Amino acid sequence: MNPKEEKNTVLLSISELADELDISTRAIRFYEEKGLILPNRTKGNHRFYNKRDRARLKLILRGKRLGYSLEEISEMIGLANFNMEEEEQLKKTFAYGKKKLVEMNERMQELQILKEDLLAIQQKIANRMEELKIRDL
């Protein structure tokens, strides 16, 4: 076995992988149906996963936590274009990251405005309650 093959020899069943990553087996099957992971199969058609599959799934889950769509994740991990060079993949991932940061900053500003509005309303209510001698709930 060559060194590259050795790196990928850790084989996990779908339930072992699901337990390790704290997700459902259904989620793993879903990502497989979408073509985001491609596990090997036994003669009995059971899935088994190597280190590369596990790493790819971790990237997919991280991308989902960060709010990326499955299409964006697919492009970033090179599944949308198998001929994509590493430099192109890195540039695309960096661009997606910049876009996501802009979106997050916009949402944070919107939330800050909402927070300030809510605090102002709370203050008006507190003032009115004081006028009416209503005790704080």
Please determine, for residue 81, whether its predicted confidence score (pLDDT) is greater than 70.
no
Instruction: List the structure tokens of 84.
Output: 């994509």
Q: What is the pTM of this model?
A: 0.65
Mean pLDDT of all residues belonging to the chain = 86
Whole-angstrom distance, CA of residue 109 vs CA of residue 88? 32
Q: What is the domain class of 3-84 according to CATH? A: mainly alpha
H-run or E-run covering 48: strand 47-48
pLDDT digits (tens, 9 = 90+) for 113-126: 999 999 999 999 99
Q: Report the candidate in 64, 57, 70, 69 with the shortest Cα–Cα distance to residue 19.
A: 57
Cβ pair 64, 73 in contact under 8 A: yes
Which pLDDT belongs to residue 92?
85
In the chain, where the domains are located: 3-84, 99-137
Query: Tokens 């992971």 sit at which residue?
Result: 37
pLDDT digits (tens, 9 = 90+) for 3-51: 455 455 678 999 999 999 999 999 999 999 988 898 988 888 888 999 8
Model confidence at 80, pLDDT cuts 50, 70, 90, reads: low
Whole-angstrom distance, CA of residue 8 vs CA of residue 81? 23
